[in-house]
Amino acid sequence: MQNRPEKLINDGVRLDGRGPDEIRPIKIEAGVLNRADGSCYIEWGGNKVLAAVYGPREAHPRHLQDSRKAIIKYRYNMASFSVEDRKRPGPDRRSVEISKVSREALAPVLMLEYFPRSSIDIFVEILQADAGTRTTGITAASVALADAGIPMKNLVSAISVGKADGEVILDLIREEDNYGEADMPVAMITETGDITLLQMDGNLTGEEFIKALNFAKKGCESVYKLQRRSLIEKYEKSCSD
C-alpha cells in the first residue's frame, strides 16, 4: 500500500480536487444482465460494482424458509483484482460483516410478507475498489431489486462521510478512508430520511457528527436522483425496443 500523503486536504481542496461536500462522478445503469431477474452496474469514482438479484424463489435449504415472509440473502464479494494488492479470494470477516449490514440496510423497504417461504438473493461483486464499496453495493442492490420488480416501499441510497485533516468530508476516497480520522457509511430511505445503516470507524465530535449526517443526506439526495433516473431509462429503453 502506498504511503500516507503529507496532506489529505490543502486549503479546502481534496486530493482529487473536490471540495468537502462534493461527491465523485457517478454512473448508474439498471438491467445490465440478461440472466438475473434484476441487475445494476455502478461506476462511482474509482469503484466499479455489479449487483444481481434473483427471486423471490423458493428458499433452499428448506430449514431456512420462514412461513411468514421471504428471507434475504446478500453476498458482498470483493474480486481478487479489485484492489492494489491481490485480495485472497473467498469470504472473510469483512465481507461477512458487510453482507450482514447491507442486508439489514435494505430489509426495511422490501415487502417480504408477500412472499412466505421464499428467498430474495442479492449478489454484489466489487470489480474495482476505491473506498465506499459497501455504500456503492447497497445503492446498486437497491436499483437491482427494483429492476427485478420486487415490491418495495422505496429505494435505499447510501454514501460515506467522514473526517480527514480535521475537516468533515463527503464520499471518501481510499486515501481519506485509510488515513483520515473517521469514516462513517450511511444508508437511508432518502424520501423519508429514515436511516437504515450507520457505522462509524474513528471519532467525531457531536457537532461534526451532525454536520456529517447533513452531508450524507445531501449526498443521498443526489444518489437517489441517479438511481431513479437509471430505472426510468431502463423502462424507456425496453418500451422503445
Residues in touch with ligand ADP (CB under 6 A): 83, 85, 87, 94, 129-134, 160, 174, 177, 183, 185
Cα gap 100→112, rounded to integer Å: 17
What's the min distance (Å) between Cβ of 133 and ligand ADP?
3
The helix (run of H) or strand (run of E) holding residue 104 is helix 93-106
Cα gap 201→87, rounded to integer Å: 22
**What cell numbers appear for 150 in the block?**
420486487
What's the min distance (Å) between Cβ of 56 and ligand ADP?
27
CA Rg, the chain, in Å? 18
What's the min distance (Å) between Cβ of 84 and ligand ADP?
6
Q: Which is nearer to ligand ADP, 134 or 234 (CB)?
A: 134
Cα gap 175→160, rounded to integer Å: 14
Q: Which is nearer to ligand ADP, 134 or 211 (CB)?
A: 134
What's the min distance (Å) between Cβ of 51 and ligand ADP?
14
Q: At residue 240, what is the residue type?
A: S
**Angle at 32 (CA atoms; ends 26, 35), nearest 5 degrees:** 150
User: What Å distances lie between residue 124 and 9, 26, 99, 144, 178, CA to CA?
Assistant: 32, 17, 9, 10, 22
Q: At residue 178, what is the residue type?
A: N
What's the min distance (Å) between Cβ of 47 and ligand ADP?
7
Burial of 25 (0-12, 13-18, 19+ CB in 10 A): exposed
Q: Which is nearer to ligand ADP, 147 or 171 (CB)?
A: 171
Q: Which is nearer to ligand ADP, 38 or 45 (CB)?
A: 45
What's the min distance (Å) between Cβ of 54 and ligand ADP?
23
Cα gap 33→162, rounded to integer Å: 34
Q: At residue 201, what is the residue type?
A: D
Q: Which is nearer to ligand ADP, 54 or 74 (CB)?
A: 74
What's the min distance (Å) between Cβ of 149 and ligand ADP?
28
Q: Which is nearer to ligand ADP, 70 or 213 (CB)?
A: 213
Q: Which is nearer to ligand ADP, 57 or 86 (CB)?
A: 86
Give the residue among 44, 239, 23 at the shortest CA–CA distance from 143. 44
Cα gap 125→79, rounded to integer Å: 7
